[in-house]
Structure 1
Amino acid sequence: MASEATMLQVGDREVRVSSPGRVLWPDLGITKLDLAAYLATVGDAFVRANGGRPVSLQRFPAGVDGDDYFSKNPPKGAPDYVRSVEVTYPSGRSHPQLVIDEPAAAVWAAQMNTVVFHPWASRADASDLPDQLRIDLDPQPGTDVADAVPVARELRRVLADAGLTAFVKTSGNRGLHVFAPIEPTREFFDVRHAVIAAARELERRLPEAVTTNWWKEERGQRIFVDYNQANRDRTMAGAWSPRALAGASVSTPLDWSELDGVDPAAFTVLTAPDRLAATGDPWERMHDEPGTVDELLAWWERDVEAGLGELPFPPDFPKMPGEPPRVQPSRAKKQP
């Protein structure tokens, strides 16, 4: 017997959604069809933010309370409007990665039980060269998004001092993401150093509120600037992407004037479409005037000359030039 399915009109395409009544967010009763309809409604803004980039799909076949896994290359049976691009990973291995070019492709991904979309900071036609500088402001235990707001505002000033225009969004959880459009002329390693330079300057300006310490035991009750999110194949939830949290929150672009008192939980699969219709997309013109990371890299070189060198990489990366030992400080002190 044929499985239950429905057809959803997305632009000039019809996208088949099987098991449309499958509940993905049990607390709210949000179904797979609800998710597909959400992506169709915000589709233009979603594709503007995440389209044309290598993207990983975080899939939840049994809903957000169940197990998940990541898809990077298009599965068998993908429609012809879903393409892939060959990308190189930190290991040096190359592999095809999914690319979303239109809203129907995002809805198709929802049909495949995708909840969270993780786009690269580079575009498919130049996957080695990021065109976005991305900074993740991650509240540590004892802090929350209210503590991240003044940090984000100061980071905006730091980036302006480096000649960059900053844009902000909720992470969909407790933190904030700050992006700046850049010309795609530098490799990931350089952009990572630019992010570290900005993070260190932010830490100097707000030492009681900000930390760049990689090891959790050294962070304290501060906002961690997760510089390693700037690495190749490291991604954040994309703008307008749902999150796999009980409240079905969405990583939502904001105008800087909206930061005071912001509640990330207020922007959900159910509420974000009305917000977008009422206020428009604060990120619509993000890439009209990209900057460069040249000034930030000058700051990086200045800090290196002052004795501030490389910072730790994620544990799954190969050992990198100049990297300090990957040993938790409390354990390192016990070693003879």
Structure 2
Amino acid sequence: MTTTTPAEPSSDLLRPHAEQAFAHELAALAAADDRPRPPGWQLSPAAVVSYLLGGTLPDGTVVTPKYVGPRRLVEVAVATLATDRALLLLGVPGTAKTWVSEHLAAAISGTSALVVQGTSGTGDDALRYGWNYARLLTEGPTPAALVESPVMSAMRTARIARIEELTRIPSDVQDALISILSEKSLPVPELATEVQAAKGFNVIATANDRDRGVNDLSSALRRRFNTVVLPLPATEDEEVEIVARRVAQLGSSLELPTAPAAAEEIRRVVTVFRELRSGRTSDGRTQLKSPSGTLSTAEAISVLTGGLALAAHFGDGVLRSADVAAGILGAVVKDPVADKAVWTEYLEAVVRERSGWADFYRACREVSG
């Protein structure tokens, strides 16, 4: 499949929101969209799916794929948001949960900025509301002293609220969502009032249950979500396509020179990650030990973007094995003892014997010490 480079955003932002970076695609989809739109939606569900999966519009506008994966998963996610059920995107780290969440919100609401980043320190006010304490002390509880959470703002303005890493939020704070998702209202007892959700409001949450420091969702909260599990890329070619596209986008955003002949190193990094992740070589002949890390697609993108920076600023602009070797070592060896042994065994048993990988083997041995 031929990849296309998205249009440059019209600003100098380091990391534009999806609705900024792909504004031209969203506008073209809206202009061509003749299907019914749910209340509050900027596009019809079918057009949202087209925005996520890509295609060519009747006017010739190329819509770049934002997600490479099963179409049915995207359709189920979009259909869920057209109902009164919230959407939970579940998957291991690096399966594009945040990426999909952002683009869904951008396509449906026109903004992806109503987001709560879940951490162990996230408090109740991040999901409900807080107070401007200077005004609270001088005026008491007044509407002017109220500080809306992204969720409250989304309820009031008929938009999508995003909650990233929901399982990292303490369980008692998570449960503040139960009444919001059930009753579609948020009481403010201090003001003897409530905010009722306008049509178009919904919530997209992301979570993974394989990472450390997670808090399981209560059964009551899980029932308020329709869960869509995002899988790892099914094939090597699919993962190479995803990585190549994202590396090109990030390189363009960071204004790194375009690296010629980068495809070989991209495929090599993806091959290493997939083999160590699955515990066997791509031909199925050799069983391997897997390291402790997830070796996600997102990490492969990071390794290659770092390699492009090295090639651009400290090399001749051509991405080579030496530019990605240190990044791969850092991604694989999280445990300095156990993972180091896994990596060394993989280098000696697989990489050293593989035709055309001699330069990669030498570069990896050099940085491995």
* TM bin (shorter chain): under 0.3
TM-score normalised to structure 1 length? 0.26
Report the TM-score when normalising by structure 2: 0.24
Point out the structure with the larger strand share. Answer: 1
In terms of fraction of residues, the more helix-rich structure is: 2
RCO higher in 1 or 2 (8 Å CA, sep ≥ 6)?
A: 1
Over alpha carbons, which structure has the higher Rg?
2
